[in-house]
Every structure is written in C-alpha cells, then in structure tokens.
Structure 1
C-alpha cells in the first residue's frame, strides 16, 4: 500500500429483505429497521439500515484489499442514517504509510453525497 491509494466497494441496493436478513443474522430486531408502521408512529418516514450493517460493509472494503489479520485498528463514527432502497458506496484512502503501517480514512456515502459513516483503519502495509 502506498500513500494516496484509493479503495472502493460498490454495494447493492439496501432492500427490506437485506434489513430482515441482517436483523436475523445479527439479532438486532429493533423495529426502526424492519417495521414501517413502528417508524411512522415515532415520526420516521420509513425503515433504515442498521448502523452496524454499514460498518460491516466498510470492513468488507478493508478485507477486499488486505487479509483480516493485517488489520490493526478499525473505528467509525455514524453521521447519518442509510434509508431503505438506497445504494451506498464505500471508499478508503491511504493517508500515510510509516513504520510498516498504512493509515486509512474510510467513508460510506449515499448517491446524493450524504456521508453516513466515517472511519479510520490502520493495517500492516505489506
């Protein structure tokens, strides 16, 4: 990895089926992710993706480029929801490489430019 290297991962549309499957796999059955009526009852227009689903996709971006055992740290901050039927994309940029470690900035973005997740990672450079 070299400073300036770019990583990308295009994702499929986040459907209701995606959310139901993730809820089952993760055990997170919070109604805001799977029940439209529960959402409208509390003033939310529709269901939205689990934040941890976006975090998992961002981790997939990393593991598409480096083996899991090379990841030394990974952290994120959630900044917006991912609405159902949106198609987010994941990107990463190597911001520096020093002492055998590559430092990356990571982002999940919706097609309209909304950033839903920002993070960073440190991986072994080779």
Structure 2
C-alpha cells in the first residue's frame, strides 16, 4: 500500500517557531533582503524542517515513529515561503518499492512545492504490522 498524499502548509510563522526550537536563526529563513542578497529567490524553509514534515507523513502512514528504521534524503531545491498568510504548501507522496530480507517496507518518497521536487533520493525503511 502506497503512502497517501499528505499536504503541509508552511508559513513564515512556522519558520520562526522552528528557528526557536532548533536554534537555527540564519536570516535566509526570515529576511527577504538577506535571502535574495545571497542569490535565493526569497526566504526559504529550513531544510531539516522540510525533512521533518516528510518524516511526519511516513510516521503517520506507519503508525508509530519508532517504526522508522532508516530515513534519508537529498535536498534538491529550496522551499520558498512567501510573506503571506497562506505561505506555501509541501506535498508528500510515497510509493512502496519493496521489502527488505527482514520484511521491512521500503518507501520511495516524493516531496514537491509549487509542482517542483524539493527532495531527491528520499527513502524510508519502516517496520509494518
């Protein structure tokens, strides 16, 4: 069974909360002036915040965070978060690609924002009931 599509709204307020929790106050995550000054299209979400949202989709699918055995991604492009009440939306899907010798499920994951893939080589191995 594949991972059902999950959608996560990301706003600037979310970035502020994540910065406080993680201690990552890099201004590319809150200042348009700094972000565009270093060549980004605007303020971007923290990569690990994006990765955590994809992980949430996996744990929701499998039913328990302790069921995740392995999880890895590569960052393909930034998630730009506009300074609006709506922010942006991250869409996560997953396809069951097979099982390990131990019978654990292998999920290939896709995360997109504005129709563009933001992660590549995203994969999770999970214990299933």
Above 0.5 in TM-score? yes
Unaligned runs of 5+ in 1: none
TM-score by length of 2: 0.85
Q: Which runs of 4+ in 1 moved over 3 A?
A: none
* Structure 2 equivalent of residue 25 of structure 1: 21
Out of 30, 34, 40, the position equivalent to 2:30 is 34
Q: CA deviation at 1:45?
A: 3.6
Matches within 5 A, 1:1-126: 2=1, 5-12=2-9, 14-66=10-62, 67-84=64-81, 85-98=87-100, 99-111=102-114, 113-118=115-120, 119-126=122-129
Q: CA deviation at 1:39?
A: 1.8
Unaligned runs of 5+ in 2: 82-86
Q: CA deviation at 1:8?
A: 2.0
| Number of residue equivalences | 121
Asked if the contact 1:49–1:83 (Cα under 8 Å) also holds between the matched residues in 2, the reply is: yes
Asked if the contact 1:97–1:125 (Cα under 8 Å) also holds between the matched residues in 2, the reply is: no
Q: CA RMSD in A?
A: 1.5
TM-score by length of 1: 0.87
